[in-house]
């Protein structure tokens, strides 16, 4: 089965071709980050318009790289939600119309399922069951994954997502949008322990998270140093933020491993690209004798490959595809 995957839930347009026997054949991606940077965040209307401009050239690129033609495609998978409604509608309308034209069914995919399964695109993939730590710009969840479509929510954030906290703290430190990766670079130059920031809900006894207090603590720190926002201060503050964030994610992930008794941890979503998070988890995994899996760096953030993969696995698992031509998105799925 050859699955075409389309992602357009936020500010990345991604198109990919996944073959259930041969694996990922090709993927093409366009990021709108530079376009939104001057506004300090994603502007939904601009995002939708840019997706419209990109879908056809990206489809041509993905087909060209794979050596396949539209006639070879067996089903079209696309992100149905959650995300920005206008942005989702572009991918949905394009996917449904394309599938109608080639007389093939569609597979609407949950964006987070795409992130969750993305480590399976690696050469050395995890096997079911595993614990998943999903840390993106919109979500922070711990899940027990026993198979495709078999997800048990163990805990989640009660307010801000981890990526959101990274981005908001970065903004407070004067970094451009989206600041997560930039804050993490800045943190590398900082000294640990100069500032001590709170680790919200570390001892809550459950697997839930809360990051809005951490962000407020960064705001307070910035206000206290408003007179002298030196590069050294910013680096140390970034370091303190990252130390607190990584500590909370680590401790909760360890608790989930203990609670489930599973041996594999999968880390997915944009924050999974964070170097300090990766090295800390790797170290603890060695000590506690479990394995950690990450998606390839290029598949940590939004992309079409994870949507094509999720579509293919859904079909394999027996989820029936949908007749093409019905347009419906679920922005708050
Ligand atoms: O998964 P993703 O691409 O989009 C959502 O579905 O939300 O995640 C984007 C988030 C942003 O908040 C971004 O700042 C964060 O991932 N991010 C990082 C790093 N790279 C991306 N956060 C911390 N360290 C990084 N290296
Ligand atoms: Zn995402």
Domain ranges in the chain are 2-117+300-316, 125-294
Cis peptide before 236 (omega within 30 of 0): no
Rounded Cα distance, 287 and 3, in Å: 40
- Percent of the chain at pLDDT exceeding 70: 100
Q: Decide: 186 in ligand 1 pocket, CB within 6 A.
A: no
Query: Which atom in ligand 1 lies closest to the alpha carbon of residue 302?
Result: 3
| pTM given for the model | 0.94
Classified by CATH at the fold level, domain 2-117+300-316 comes out as Nucleotidyltransferase; domain 5 (3.30.420)
ipTM of predicted assembly, 2 dp: 0.98
What confidence category does residue 266 fall into, taking pLDDT thresholds of 50, 70 and 90?
Answer: very high
| 181-186: average pLDDT | 97
Closest ligand 1 atom, residue 178 Cα: 14
pLDDT recorded at residue 178: 87
Asked whether 200 lines ligand 1 (CB < 6 A), one says no
The bound ligand whose nearest atom lies closest to the alpha carbon of 269 is 1
Q: Find the 187 Cα to ligand 1 centroid distance in Å.
A: 15
Q: Is the CB of 160 under 6 A from ligand 1?
A: no
With a 6 Å cutoff on the Cβ, whether 81 touches ligand 1 is no
> Is a pLDDT exceeding 90 seen at residue 177?
no
Tell me the average pLDDT across 177-201: 96
Evaluate: CB of 180 within 6 angstroms of ligand 1: yes
235-252 burial, b at 16+ Cβ within 10 Å, e below that, comes to: bbbbbbbbbbbbebbbeb
**Domain 125-294 sits in which CATH superfamily?**
ATPase, nucleotide binding domain (3.30.420.40)
Q: Which pLDDT tens digit goes with each residue over 90-113? A: 999 999 999 999 999 999 999 999
Q: What are the beta bridge partners of residue 75?
A: 3
Atom of ligand 1 nearest to the CA of 163: 12
Say yes or no: CB of residue 119 within 6 Å of ligand 1.
Answer: no
- Encode pLDDT of 289-308 as tens digits: 999 999 998 999 999 999 99
Q: Is the CA virtual torsion 65, 301, 85, 32 positive or negative?
A: negative
Provide the Cα torsion 222, 223, 229, 233; round to 10°: -40
**59, exposed or middle or buried, with CB in 10 Å at 0-12, 13-18, 19+?**
buried
pLDDT at 118 over 90: yes
The pLDDT tens digits for 190-245 are 999 999 999 999 999 999 999 999 999 999 999 999 998 999 999 999 999 999 99
Check pLDDT > 90 for residue 142.
yes
Q: Which atom of ligand 1 is nearest to the CA of 273?
A: 26
Three-class SS of residue 327?
Answer: coil
- Ligand whose nearest atom lies closest to the CA of 36: 1
Same fold, 2-117+300-316 and 125-294: yes
Q: Give the residue, out of 9, 110, 166, 171, with the most ligand 1 atoms within 8 A of its beta carbon, to mutate for a pocket test.
A: 166
- With the most atoms of ligand 1 within 8 angstroms of its CB, the residue from 81, 87, 137, 304 to mutate is 137
% of residues, the chain, pLDDT over 90: 96
CA distance 174 to 177: 9
**CB neighbour list of residue 185: distance below 8 Å, 6 or more residues apart:** none
Q: What is the mean pLDDT of the chain?
A: 97
Quick one: which ligand is closest to 306's CA? 2
Q: Annotated binding site for Fe cation, which residues?
A: 111, 115, 302
- Ligand 2: centre distance to CA 232 (Å): 32
The predicted-structure confidence for 12-52, as pLDDT tens digits, reads as follows 999 999 999 999 999 999 999 999 999 989 999 999 999 99
């Amino acid at each position: 089965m050859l699955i075409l995957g389309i992602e357009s839930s936020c500010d990345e347009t991604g198109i990919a071709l996944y073959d259930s026997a041969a694996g990922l054949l090709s993927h093409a991606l366009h990021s709108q980050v530079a376009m939104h940077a001057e506004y300090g965040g994603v502007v939904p209307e601009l995002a939708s318009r840019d997706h419209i401009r990109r879908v056809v050239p990206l489809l041509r690129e993905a087909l060209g790289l794979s050596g396949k033609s539209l006639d070879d495609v067996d089903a079209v998978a696309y992100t149905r939600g959650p995300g920005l409604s206008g942005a989702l509608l572009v991918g949905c309308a394009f996917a449904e119309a394309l599938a109608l034209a080639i007389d093939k069914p569609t597979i609407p995919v949950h964006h987070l399922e795409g992130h969750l399964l993305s480590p399976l695109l690696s050469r050395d993939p995890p096997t079911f069951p595993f614990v998943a730590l999903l840390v993106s710009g919109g979500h922070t969840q711990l899940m027990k994954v026993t198979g495709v479509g078999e997800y048990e929510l163990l805990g989640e954030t009660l307010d801000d997502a981890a990526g959101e906290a990274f981005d908001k703290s970065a903004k407070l430190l004067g970094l451009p949008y989206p600041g997560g990766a930039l804050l993490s670079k800045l943190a590398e130059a900082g000294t640990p322990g100069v500032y001590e920031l709170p680790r919200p809900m570390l001892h809550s006894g459950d697997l839930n998270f809360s990051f809005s207090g951490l962000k407020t603590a960064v705001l307070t720190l910035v206000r206290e140093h408003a007179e002298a926002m030196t590069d050294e201060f910013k680096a140390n503050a970034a370091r303190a933020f990252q130390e607190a964030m990584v500590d909370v994610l680590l401790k909760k992930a360890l608790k989930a491993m203990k609670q489930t008794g599973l041996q594999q941890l999968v880390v997915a979503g944009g924050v999974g690209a964070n170097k300090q998070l990766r090295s800390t988890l790797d170290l603890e995994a060695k000590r506690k004798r479990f394995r950690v899996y990450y998606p390839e760096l290029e598949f940590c953030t939004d992309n079409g490959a994870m949507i094509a993969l999720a579509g293919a696995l859904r079909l394999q698992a027996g989820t029936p595809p949908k007749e093409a031509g019905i347009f419906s998105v679920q922005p708050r799925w």
